[in-house]
Amino acid sequence: MDTINISNHKGVQSTKLSKSENIEVLHISLEKDAVLKKHTSSKDALLIVLKGHISFHINNDTHVLSKHQIFNFAKDVEHWVEAHENSNFIIIR
């Protein structure tokens, strides 16, 4: 199933694409103006934007990211994401 290409962008959606003992891969879909509320990651993570335009807020900084941009962030640091247009990204942790 092609989870990424069939995202319907209704609010915030998260799908676990893969999980093993050492790694987890998540697909996040955000509708325009949707907000992924403040949270932390249990592991260091890599975010890869597949589609759209988001702001990633962490450590009182805002990182504006769009298609094909990559951002690394540390575990246990509170962060949140907002979508400026319908967006998809992958989290690898």
pTM, two decimals, is 0.87
pLDDT of 6 > 70? The answer is no
Reported as a pLDDT band with limits 50, 70 and 90, residue 46 is: very high
Calculate mean pLDDT across residues 32-47: 97
- Contact between 26 and 88 (Cβ < 8 Å): no
Q: What is the DSSP string of 16-81?
A: EEEE-SS-EEEEEEE-TT-EEEEE--SS-EEEEEEESEEEEEETTEEEEEETT-EEEE-TT--EEE
57-81 per-position pLDDT tens digit? 999 999 999 999 999 999 999 999 9
Which domains does the chain show, CATH number per domain?
Answer: 12-92 (2.60.120.10)
- Give the model's pLDDT for residue 64: 98
How confident is the prediction for the chain on average, in pLDDT? Answer: 93
C-alpha angle 24/5/66, rounded to 5°? 75
